[in-house]
């Protein structure tokens, strides 16, 4: 198992993860929609050649298949270039084995090295595993938006979390 930056050849696996986890409906706002593989490949290409502020990491299993992903989108304006937001997902068979932690560590190292001040994310209040991972990685709750989603017949709050760059002691 390993974590690395995505390459264009990973596009089909990445699209499959977005599709599969979206269809589970319990974790992502997306309900199974996913971009065409060619569009995803172009996006990864733009990340690789530096023309996109987004970074995508993938996690692979023992067979070297891509089974997880974490996308980090840095703000593209002067107003918000000090921030980034992230989203992540693993295929069901890859969960609970430390891959989410490994993806997060890689992404936060990049953010810290790039002097990103604040990394934010959004998670359903019902997603206990994700909440545990985020707390473990230094994220704290910034806001809770009640009744923001309706999932499986119940209203669910959106938890907005953020983690500050520990090296940025220059910020008041």
Residues that bind ligand COA (CB under 6 A): 21, 27-28, 88-90, 95-101, 123, 127-130, 132-133, 136
Residue 2: which residues within 8 A CB-CB, separation 6 or more?
Answer: 59, 60
In the complex, the smallest distance separating the C-beta of residue 8 from ligand COA, rounded to whole angstroms, is 23
Minimum distance between the CB of residue 34 and ligand COA, rounded to whole angstroms? 14
Name which of 48 and 54 has its Cβ closer to ligand COA.
Answer: 54
Rank residues 47 and 159 by Cβ distance to ligand COA and give the closer one: 159
DSSP state of 29: S
Residue nearest ligand COA by beta-carbon distance:
100
The residue (of 36 and 98) whose beta carbon lies closer to ligand COA is 98
Q: How far is the CB of 19 from ligand COA (least distance, A)?
A: 13
Residue 22 φ/ψ region, left for φ over 0, alpha for ψ in the -120 to 50 degree band, beta for the rest? alpha
Closest distance of CB 87 from ligand COA, Å:
7
Q: What are phi and psi of 162, to 5 degrees?
A: -145, 155
User: In 3D, which of 129, 135, 139, 54 has the Cα closest to residue 94?
Assistant: 129
Candidates 56, 119, 68; CA nearest to 92 is 68
């Amino acid at each position: 198992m390993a974590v690395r930056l995505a390459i264009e050849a990973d596009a089909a696996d990445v699209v499959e993860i977005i599709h599969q986890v979206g269809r589970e409906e319990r974790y992502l706002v997306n309900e199974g929609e996913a971009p065409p593989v060619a569009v995803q490949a172009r996006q990864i290409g733009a990340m690789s050649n530096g023309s996109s502020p987004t970074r995508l990491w993938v996690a692979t299993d023992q067979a070297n298949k891509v089974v997880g992903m974490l996308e980090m989108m840095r703000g593209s304006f002067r107003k918000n270039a000090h921030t980034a937001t992230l989203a992540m997902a693993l295929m069901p068979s890859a969960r609970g084995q430390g891959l989410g932690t490994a993806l997060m560590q890689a992404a936060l190292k990049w953010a810290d090295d790039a002097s990103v001040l604040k990394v934010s994310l959004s998670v359903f209040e019902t997603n206990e595993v994700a909440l545990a991972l985020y707390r473990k990685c230094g994220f704290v709750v910034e806001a809770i938006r009640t009744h923001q989603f309706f999932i499986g017949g119940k209203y669910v709050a959106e938890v907005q979390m953020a983690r500050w760059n520990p090296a940025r002691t220059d910020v008041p």
